[in-house]
Amino acid sequence: MRLRPIFAILGLLLLVTSGLMLIPLGIAWLLDSTEEYPAFTLSSVITFLVGGALWLLNSGKIGELRAREAFGVVGLSWLSVSFFGALPFWFAPSGIPSLLDACFETMSGFTTTGATILTDIEALTPGLLFWRNLTQWFGGMGFVLLTLAVMPLLGSGSVHMFRAEVPGPTKEKLTPRITQTALYLWGIYTLFTVVEILLLLPELHWFDATTVALSTLSTGGFSTYNMSIAHFNSSYVDAIVTSFMLIASVNFVLHFRFFFQGQLRAFSDGECKFFFGVAIFAMLFVATMLYNTQVFPAKIDNPEAYSTFSGCFRLASFQVATLFSGCGFVTADFDHWPNACRVLLAVLMLIGGCAGSTTGGVKVVRFLMLIKFSIREIALLVRPQAVISLKLNNNNVEREVVARVLGFLALWMLLFLFSVFILAFILDPGWSGSAGSVEPESARVVSGALEDDLLLTAFGATLSTLGNIGPGFGGVGPLENYADIPDAGKLLLMLLMLLGRLEIYAILILFLPFTWRR
């Protein structure tokens, strides 16, 4: 692997990041929040100098990127941008004093996970709050894709980088040129964001409307308030946010075909229909369970919210949309809903939205292919001589694509189970890495979880971070945070966020010896 082209592109990405830091600096100036000026200025200068040095020393060696070098660029770029993006939080007087916690928050932002270590979000200054949500917006569509759109310098290597960053089993180019495809995708993404801001402005202040929209279209879920979207207590805001979470969950290729080619039939896509069918079923099922179940903790704490079916449907539709899309906004304590609802929500978190969207999870199209493949195998048991092809949208699915999907699902599940085991081990209060009578760090775990709930916490935190969702279950539920997770656990969860956002392969390839051989 040639390292100098990788360093050159990393430098280019850091230069872009240093420019992005000027946006929250401008917001701080508009809102007269002078405390943040030194933090953003210093962070931008440091990032610019490091990025500029990497670019100047290596720009003449870019050439044509090969596939493994493109994967290396994508994986290392997300790590480096998350580190430098954490500097404003670390430098600001009212920011995050721990560098690890600052990196956790930024990694959660850029990967659109939405998991937070902040116990009092509203204590942050406006510029830091805006930067926090802005990281999600740029991470949602992918800042590597943004760089390809505005700086088309990589030739055929841009195709490999596009494939490494865009989620889904297949990567469809909308136009012959990757740079033009990137521009179209970012244009549609920006258009939806602006439309949501305009729709929210009658109800919210411009700062709130903007930050909510940034996190909605990226399906990130960071909020500027401790109570998330529940802070606004508005059915109108809930409806707008729910609608745009679902819009962001649809493959952006379908949006492109609708806007630029006038293809209404694009939304008859099998994956899209399956996604909305499951979402509507889940909303109705959860609303019915909430209304008809007489006693459960959340209903005892807030009986008025669950007193009518319309009220239950409002809560159910929002939480189904936010967890199915991986957004992670909160309007209710779903961790204290009936068990049937919690299980269904966990399944939705696992599935995620459509391929080619900003959502997390393993993607609907993979589950759809798995279902069709299983049905075909059962049919072949009954009629062994039959020739039954696997079809999606009336097109034959190539054997190579099916094998890739099954391999990804197997790898995802193995990684998930292994991570639950490791995190449960880290959280176990009976284990300590050092001898003596000192209380182990893991004994001071997650404030919202009893010892009996630690396995549920490990399950929820792993599912939430690997699926890029944010809130989980147990001690990392919708009303809790990740502040009390031990440092080793935070490092593991940060890795899972990155693996989930880049769909495992772009990160695992960095640990394979043959990747680095010439």
Residue keyed to tokens 């189970």: 417
CA separation for the pair 470, 222 (Å, rounded): 9
Residue keyed to tokens 């003449």: 60
DSSP labels, 152-189: ---TTHHHHHHHHHS-SSS---SSSSHHHHHHHHHHHH
Identify the pLDDT of residue 438.
37
CA separation for the pair 258, 261 (Å, rounded): 6
CA separation for the pair 316, 88 (Å, rounded): 37
CA separation for the pair 226, 452 (Å, rounded): 27
| Same domain, residue pair 462 and 515 | no
Identify the pLDDT of residue 495.
95
| Sequence-separated (6 or more) residues with CB below 8 Å from residue 450 | none
- Band of pLDDT at residue 135, cut at 50, 70 and 90: very high
| Phi, psi (rounded to 5 degrees) for 395 | -115, 140
Q: Is the pLDDT of residue 150 over 80?
A: no
| Same domain, residue pair 312 and 281 | yes
Identify the pLDDT of residue 502.
84
Say if residues 390 and 369 touch (Cβ distance below 8 Å): yes
Residue keyed to tokens 């896509």: 269
CA separation for the pair 206, 187 (Å, rounded): 21
Domain that holds residue 462: 364-431+439-503
Percent of the chain predicted with pLDDT > 90? 56
Determine, yes or no, domain membership for 223: no
Ranges 302-306, 375-379, 450-454, 486-490: which has the least confidence: 450-454
Determine, yes or no, domain membership for 202: no
Rg, the chain, Cα only: 23
Distance of CA 491 to the CA centre of its chain: 17
| Same domain, residue pair 396 and 295 | no
* Secondary element (H or E) of residue 52: helix 37-58
- Band of pLDDT at residue 261, cut at 50, 70 and 90: confident
Nearest C-alpha neighbor of 77 from the set 6, 146, 22, 5: 6
- From 279, 312, 346, give the residue that closes a domain: 346
| Sequence-separated (6 or more) residues with CB below 8 Å from residue 327 | 114, 215, 216, 219, 220, 221, 245, 248, 321, 359, 469, 470
Say if residues 356 and 331 touch (Cβ distance below 8 Å): no
Q: Is the pLDDT of residue 253 over 60?
A: yes
Rounded average pLDDT over 110-134: 94
| Sequence-separated (6 or more) residues with CB below 8 Å from residue 377 | none
Rounded average pLDDT over 474-482: 90
| Same domain, residue pair 381 and 484 | yes
Residue keyed to tokens 């770029």: 77
| Same domain, residue pair 10 and 128 | yes
Domain count within the chain? 3
Which position has the higher pLDDT, 4 or 324? 324
* Secondary element (H or E) of residue 130: helix 126-141
Identify the pLDDT of residue 315.
96
Identify the pLDDT of residue 258.
85
Q: Is the pLDDT of residue 13 over 60?
A: yes
For 153-175, the pLDDT digits (tens) are 555 455 555 555 555 555 555 55
Determine, yes or no, domain membership for 264: yes
- Band of pLDDT at residue 436, cut at 50, 70 and 90: very low
* 191: number of Cβ within 10 Å: 13
Determine, yes or no, domain membership for 16: yes
Q: Is the pLDDT of residue 89 over 90?
A: yes
| Same domain, residue pair 377 and 420 | yes
**3-state secondary structure (DSSP) of residue 391:** strand
| Phi, psi (rounded to 5 degrees) for 458 | -60, -40
CA separation for the pair 9, 1 (Å, rounded): 14
- Band of pLDDT at residue 445, cut at 50, 70 and 90: very low
Q: Is the pLDDT of residue 478 over 70?
A: yes
Taking each helix axis from N to C end, the angle separating 364-382 and 270-292, rounded to the nearest 10 degrees, works out to 100
Q: Is the pLDDT of residue 432 over 60?
A: no
* Secondary element (H or E) of residue 396: strand 395-396
For 196-245, the pLDDT digits (tens) are 999 999 999 999 999 999 999 999 999 999 999 999 999 999 999 999 99
CA separation for the pair 340, 282 (Å, rounded): 11
| Same domain, residue pair 510 and 370 | no
**3-state secondary structure (DSSP) of residue 299:** helix
Rounded average pLDDT over 77-99: 93
- From 346, 381, 409, give the residue that closes a domain: 346
Which position has the higher pLDDT, 348 or 140? 348
| Same domain, residue pair 371 and 296 | no
Determine, yes or no, domain membership for 176: no
Determine, yes or no, domain membership for 218: no
| Same domain, residue pair 486 and 376 | yes
| Sequence-separated (6 or more) residues with CB below 8 Å from residue 372 | 390, 391, 392, 397
Rounded average pLDDT over 358-363: 89
Q: Is the pLDDT of residue 434 over 60?
A: no
| Same domain, residue pair 312 and 393 | no
Q: What is the mean pLDDT of the chain?
A: 86
- Band of pLDDT at residue 514, cut at 50, 70 and 90: low
Give start and end residues of each alpha helix (H) in 325-363: 339-351
Identify the pLDDT of residue 256.
86
Determine, yes or no, domain membership for 499: yes
CA separation for the pair 190, 206 (Å, rounded): 16
| Same domain, residue pair 121 and 75 | yes
Rounded average pLDDT over 356-369: 89
- Band of pLDDT at residue 441, cut at 50, 70 and 90: very low
Ranges 128-137, 188-197, 327-336, 443-452: which has the least confidence: 443-452
Q: Is the pLDDT of residue 264 over 50?
A: yes
CA separation for the pair 420, 426 (Å, rounded): 10
Determine, yes or no, domain membership for 423: yes
CA separation for the pair 18, 135 (Å, rounded): 12
Ranges 110-124, 212-226, 252-266: which has the least confidence: 252-266
Which position has the higher pLDDT, 153 or 342? 342
Identify the pLDDT of residue 143.
62
| Same domain, residue pair 58 and 38 | yes
